Structure 1
Amino acid sequence: MDICDKAKLLEQQQRNIALARALQRPPQVQQSINDEAVCEDCFAPIPAARLAVLPRANRCIDCQSIKERHEQG
């Protein structure tokens, strides 16, 4: 398996995880996602101040901090 195959496999795995998460969301959360930016982990609205600094943020500050601590250790 070459590097392109590995990248394609990783991309598909990440897509499957994102799809599974999206399908687990309650309908009211899905509606709020359509209306505003919502954290992908806790479904809380992402504050406008965070989006002003990082427009493509997909996690609130708390969930992003947890994710970064998990990745470090």
Structure 2
Amino acid sequence: MALAEEGFRALDEKSLIEYIRATPAVSSLLGDDLEGLTVKEVGDGNLNFVYIVISSSGGSLVIKQVYFLCIAMQPK
């Protein structure tokens, strides 16, 4: 099962690398060397998780994971 199909879970540096490797649309942006990825968390870690990902082959990305929950209630 792909990570995206498992529902929301907050990513950390290790699970973000797993996600990148399992997602061709993302991994293709980083070049051929996915073994040399560097990940730095730069977000506040509250509801937004922001990471800078740098590949040793020269590609780089900023990835932002946002948790959004919407609850609708009908007034009585």
TM-score (norm: length of structure 1)? 0.26
The answer to which structure, 1 or 2, has the higher relative contact order (CA under 8 A, 6+ apart) is 2
Q: Which has the higher helix share?
A: 1
Q: Which has the higher strand share?
A: 2
